[in-house]
């Protein structure tokens, strides 16, 4: 048997649409560029990713969660530096009129049009990536607000609220999952770079001087996390930002990169943001954001170690990682291809598929009862249409780790067959043991 992994993204885009992971936004109107909708499978997968991250972050004594609003006072973005510096250099090709990011396609140190390869370009203009909108019924400048381009600022402006109400002492962290918006010049590669996306960010507040150690610890914790949710370690690496690539707020920065079919790309940023953000908000708001250290009997502005991962990007990495084709030559010389989404079971959109061997009412009754019982504990899917072989293949393609087949004997012996996705091995067990079997396997 030959195993092929995902070679081009289009294969995944097609599978996602065919099976219901991800659809183009507003598709019946021709689609909205760079926006995507998660279907029944995609939403389960993404929720599993979020749950894994949320639990890893907040089920520890030193991190609490919040959920801040997307719209914030415009001063927040002035203080954070986004109004001034959250820009990308935009150029137009004089030959084919293509508009693109100056740093998108650089050959021998020169920007080259990715469409027609001309180097005859306009001067670069700085383009701010923040989406503007208006608050209230009259479109006046004073009512201009931004859709947040990152979730982090919602955490910084709530630092004091959270620290005092949760009665946390340093070091402690605040975690948040939420939508962010960036008017990217060149979105693309499916859900990799979009204009609306979800982020999972955690800001860890530490005493100045403890930041370097904490930074190293968080790098390790975050890399371990990806392994725990089943991402192949060979497809992950760190990449350090050189001094010229550091963001205006950063003292140090590492990206976690994943090997996508289109190359190594960032999925998470781990940053030492120093005391930049809290100092800026203290200056612009006039409110003290100093922390009183009861042990050292001194006041200071904490340093921040940030871990920022894109939920959609990570979900895309998990989809890429899970895909495999098993090619086998059959006795009749024909080639059989089994497509499997080999998700770690905890990430799989459905844990179990219930498959009655036939639609006969007495069999269906047993299968539906089992489905409803198991649905109390797991995400379950039910399928009674088509041959059992085809139904197994359908489940393989959406990554369901277990198929439970209810057959005619089940009515007499109260037992069912459980088929495992990766080995295709089958065992027969009593129906009332299915729940504990799946729990154990998960
Ligand atoms: P990039 O260099 O790819 O634009 P970034 O360095 O600007 O990303 P951060 O600001 O550090 O990204 O955001 C943290 C994470 O948020 C990224 O690692 C990525 O997973 C996610 N993210 C950022 N921009 C987008 C986007 N346009 N679409 C999807 N996810 C994004």
Decide: 152 in ligand 1 pocket, CB within 6 A. no
- List the beta bridge partners of residue 3: 326
> What's the mean pLDDT in 384-397?
96
Question: What distance in angstroms lies between residue 182's CA and the mean position of ligand 1's atoms?
Answer: 9
Atom of ligand 1 nearest to the CA of 184: 27
Decide: 194 in ligand 1 pocket, CB within 6 A. yes
Burial zone of 201 (CB within 10 Å; 0-12 exposed, 13-18 middle, 19+ buried): buried
Question: What distance in angstroms lies between residue 194's CA and the mean position of ligand 1's atoms?
Answer: 9
Decide: 366 in ligand 1 pocket, CB within 6 A. no
More confident residue, 224 or 243: 224
More confident residue, 104 or 42: 42
CA distance 174 to 152: 10
Contact yes or no for 350/40 (Cβ under 8 A): no
SS3 string of 46-108?
HHHHHHHHHHHHHCCCCEEECCCCCECCHHHHHHHCHHHHCEEEEEEECCCCCEEECCCCEEC
Q: Read off the tokens for 394.
A: 């359908």
Residue 103 pLDDT > 90? no
> What's the mean pLDDT in 253-267?
97
Decide: 181 in ligand 1 pocket, CB within 6 A. no
Decide: 180 in ligand 1 pocket, CB within 6 A. no
Decide: 193 in ligand 1 pocket, CB within 6 A. yes
Residue 413 pLDDT > 70? yes
pLDDT of residue 282: 97
pLDDT in tens, 322-332: 999 999 999 99
> What's the mean pLDDT in 186-210?
96
**Could you tell me the end-to-end alpha-carbon distance of the chain, in angstroms, rounded to an integer?**
27
> What's the mean pLDDT in 277-293?
96
pLDDT band at 403 (very low <50, low <70, confident <90, very high): very high
The fraction of the chain above a pLDDT of 90, given in percent, is 87
Decide: 269 in ligand 1 pocket, CB within 6 A. yes
Burial zone of 129 (CB within 10 Å; 0-12 exposed, 13-18 middle, 19+ buried): middle
pLDDT in tens, 88-99: 889 999 999 998
Decide: 312 in ligand 1 pocket, CB within 6 A. yes
pLDDT in tens, 129-148: 999 998 888 777 677 899 99
| DSSP helix/strand/coil, 312 | helix
Prediction pTM value:
0.94
The fraction of the chain above a pLDDT of 70, given in percent, is 100
pLDDT of residue 245: 76
Supply φ then ψ for residue 280, to 5 degrees: -65, -45
pLDDT band at 342 (very low <50, low <70, confident <90, very high): very high
Nearest Cα residue to 349 out of 407, 384, 394, 406: 394
pLDDT of residue 141: 67
pLDDT of residue 439: 93
pLDDT band at 236 (very low <50, low <70, confident <90, very high): very high
Question: What distance in angstroms lies between residue 354's CA and the mean position of ligand 1's atoms?
Answer: 39
Residue 21 pLDDT > 70? yes
pLDDT of residue 407: 93
What angle, 0 to 180 degrees and rounded to 10, lies between the N-to-C axes of helices 388-398 and 9-19? Answer: 120
pLDDT of residue 441: 86
């Amino acid at each position: 048997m030959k195993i092929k992994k995902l070679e081009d993204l289009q294969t995944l885009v097609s599978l996602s649409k065919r099976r219901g992971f991800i659809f183009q936004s507003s598709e019946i109107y021709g689609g909205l560029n760079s926006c995507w909708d998660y279907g029944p499978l995609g939403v389960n997968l993404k929720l599993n990713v979020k749950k894994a991250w949320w639990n890893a972050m907040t089920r520890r004594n030193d991190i609490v969660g919040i959920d801040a609003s997307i719209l914030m006072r415009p001063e927040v973005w002035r203080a954070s530096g986004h109004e001034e510096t959250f820009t990308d250099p935009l150029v137009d090709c004089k030959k084919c009129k293509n508009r693109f990011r100056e740093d998108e396609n650089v050959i021998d140190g020169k920007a080259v049009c990715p469409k027609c390869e001309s180097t005859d370009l306009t001067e670069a203009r700085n383009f701010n990536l923040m989406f503007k909108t208006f608050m209230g019924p009259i479109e006046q400048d004073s009512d201009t607000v931004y859709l947040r381009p990152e979730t982090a600022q919602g955490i910084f402006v709530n630092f004091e609220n959270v620290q005092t109400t949760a009665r946390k002492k340093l070091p402690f962290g605040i975690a948040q999952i939420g939508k962010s918006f960036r008017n990217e010049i060149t979105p693309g590669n499916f859900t990799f770079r979009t204009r609306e996306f979800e982020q999972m960010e955690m800001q860890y507040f530490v005493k100045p001087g403890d930041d370097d150690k904490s930074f190293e610890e968080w790098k390790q914790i975050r890399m371990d996390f990806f392994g725990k949710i089943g991402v192949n370690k060979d497809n992950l690496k760190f990449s350090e930002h050189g001094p010229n690539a550091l963001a205006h707020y950063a003292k140090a920065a590492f990206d976690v990169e994943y090997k996508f079919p289109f190359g190594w790309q960032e999925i998470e940023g781990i940053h030492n943001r120093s005391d930049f953000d809290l100092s800026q908000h203290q200056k612009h708001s006039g409110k003290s954001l100093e922390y009183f250290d009861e042990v050292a009997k001194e006041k200071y502005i904490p340093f921040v170690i940030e871990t920022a991962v894109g939920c959609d990007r990570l979900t895309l990495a998990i989809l890429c990682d899970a895909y495999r084709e098993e090619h086998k030559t059959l006795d009749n010389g024909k080639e059989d291809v089994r497509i499997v989404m080999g998700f770690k079971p905890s990430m799989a959109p459905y844990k179990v598929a219930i498959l009655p061997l036939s639609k006969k009412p007495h069999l269906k009754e047993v299968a539906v009862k089992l489905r409803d019982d198991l649905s109390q504990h797991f995400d379950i899917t039910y399928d009674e249409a088509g041959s059992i072989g085809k139904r197994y293949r359908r489940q393989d393609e959406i990554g369901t780790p277990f198929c439970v087949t209810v057959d005619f004997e089940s009515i007499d012996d109260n037992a069912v067959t459980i088929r495992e996705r990766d080995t295709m091995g089958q065992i027969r067990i009593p129906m009332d043991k299915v729940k504990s079997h799946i729990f154990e396997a998960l």
